[in-house]
């Protein structure tokens, strides 16, 4: 087993990422008929973009997806050479840097097309682009009825339209007719393009949820996001694929003390003890991404048993109420992941926070080192 770290660790709080789990998840979900884009935006959903990208490519991904030009440039700086699609238009003024890094642009506005075409001409580059259609999510994208016109304008401007794609709003609810309507809208525009003799190399629509539940959406390329990390895209899809959570979040007890009944714990003194109790302090708090919303709700594992977070989550620390159970400085604490016969999942933490598993793992801050286990 090989263990590497993103940087020197001076305290016990760490996020450990299993790269073999990343590979397993990609292989488990890769369609037989489509290529896979591993989406590594937001620092690989909090797991670490460079390490995850390399593991995904090793397992058969042929593309990477990012949200920001800066994210793509970071991957290039780390020596990643695979095609990288930036899933939103290049911000004005970033075109030269993005193209110099060999990033593939997404287009969906006239202004974006004009700026990119000008940069391509000035640099003497032949640039391949992916045109995004807004088929109903109404975040970003080209109105579908403009597809043929826009593709023609891009070609006239000297750009190569390599891909046409869309993004689903309700793929995690595969029986909802809105999903089928979005896919039908995309396919109708592709049929109109085909009638003119044009077919893009890549037609893509499927995110993690659609990869798992909507084979008709696989087309030429699928975009594997949250499920790459072993997390279910939504409650309706829980258990539908053999996913292995890749991340565990661990720390250790820094102080243990016996506190008398009637005393209260942490800011605001809202957690009052009804009996004498062993209180364990753990060096992880909301500055690390352990949300203050977990106050009064969360549990952590020590010696394989669950204990409640006692009182308000602090910026740098939490306290656990261990009752009469023994606890000592140095005891491992698991915030997410397995310990003994117990496990705390990102979905469970999300439930305590009133959010989704995506936010939990993306929210683990940069001051928490990432360690990579590779077996």
Q: Are 110 and 149 in contact (CB under 8 A)?
A: no
Q: How far apart are CA 83 and CA 102, in angstroms?
A: 8
User: Residue 3's pLDDT is what?
Assistant: 76
> Residue 36 pairs with which residues in a beta bridge?
222
- Of the candidates 43, 54, 70, the one whose C-alpha atom is nearest the C-alpha of residue 19 is 54
Distinct helix (H) and strand (E) counts, the chain: 11, 21
Report the distance separating Cα 234 and Cα 323, nearest Å. 35
Task: Kindly name the residue from 45, 267, 290, 358 that is annotated as catalytic.
Answer: 267
The C-alpha atoms of residue 344 and residue 300 are separated, in whole angstroms, by 7
Other CB atoms within 10 Å distance of the CB of residue 294: 21
Would residue 267 show up in a list of annotated catalytic residues for this protein? yes
> pLDDT at position 9, please?
87
Rounded to an integer, what distance in angstroms lies between the CA atom of residue 135 and that of residue 213?
A: 19
> What local confidence, expressed as pLDDT, does residue 5 receive?
80
State the catalytic residue, choosing from 41, 108, 307, 372.
Answer: 41
Report the DSSP beta bridge partners of residue 272.
Answer: 264
Low-confidence residues of the chain: pLDDT under 50: none
The verdict on whether 41 is a catalytic residue reads yes
* Domains detected in the chain: 31-230 (3.20.20.10), 247-374 (2.40.37.10)
> 3-state SS string over 141-183?
CECHHHHHHHHHHHHHCCCEEEEEECCCCCCCCCCCHHHHHHH
List helix spans (H) across 104-145. Answer: 110-123
């Amino acid at each position: 087993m090989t263990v590497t770290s993103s940087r020197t660790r001076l305290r016990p709080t760490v996020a450990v990422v299993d790269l073999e789990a990343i590979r397993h998840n990609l292989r488990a979900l890769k369609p037989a008929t489509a290529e896979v884009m591993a989406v590594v935006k937001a620092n690989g959903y909090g797991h670490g973009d460079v390490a995850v990208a390399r593991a995904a490519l090793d397992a058969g991904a042929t593309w990477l997806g990012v949200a920001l030009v800066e994210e793509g440039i970071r991957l290039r700086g780390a020596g990643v050479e695979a095609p990288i699609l930036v899933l939103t238009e290049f911000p004005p003024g970033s075109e030269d840097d993005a193209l110099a890094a060999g990033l593939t642009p997404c287009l969906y506005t006239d202004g974006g097309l004009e700026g990119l075409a000008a940069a391509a001409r000035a640099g003497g580059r032949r640039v391949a682009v992916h045109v995004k259609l807004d088929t109903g999510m109404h975040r970003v994208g080209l109105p579908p009825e403009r597809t043929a016109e826009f593709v023609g304008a891009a070609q006239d401007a000297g750009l190569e339209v390599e891909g046409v794609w869309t993004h689903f709003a309700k793929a995690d609810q595969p029986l909802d007719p809105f999903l089928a309507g979005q896919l039908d809208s995309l396919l109708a525009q592709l049929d109109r393009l085909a009638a003119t003799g044009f077919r893009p190399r890549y037609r893509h629509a499927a995110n993690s949820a659609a990869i798992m539940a909507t084979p008709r959406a696989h087309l030429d390329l699928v975009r594997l996001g949250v499920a790459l990390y072993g997390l279910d895209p939504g409650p309706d899809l829980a258990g539908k694929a053999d996913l292995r959570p890749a991340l565990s979040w661990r720390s250790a007890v820094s102080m243990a003390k016996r506190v008398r009944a009637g005393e209260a714990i942490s800011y605001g003194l809202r957690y009052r003890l009804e009996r004498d109790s062993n209180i364990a302090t753990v060096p992880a708090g909301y500055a690390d991404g352990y949300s203050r919303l977990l106050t009064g709700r969360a549990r952590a594992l020590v010696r394989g048993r669950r204990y409640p977070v006692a009182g308000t989550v602090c910026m740098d620390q939490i306290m656990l109420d261990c009752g009469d159970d023994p606890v000592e400085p140095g005891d491992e604490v698991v915030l997410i992941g397995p310990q003994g016969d117990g496990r705390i999942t990102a979905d469970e933490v999300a439930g305590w926070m009133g959010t989704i598993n995506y936010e939990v793992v993306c929210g683990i801050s940069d001051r928490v080192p990432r360690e990579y286990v590779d077996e």
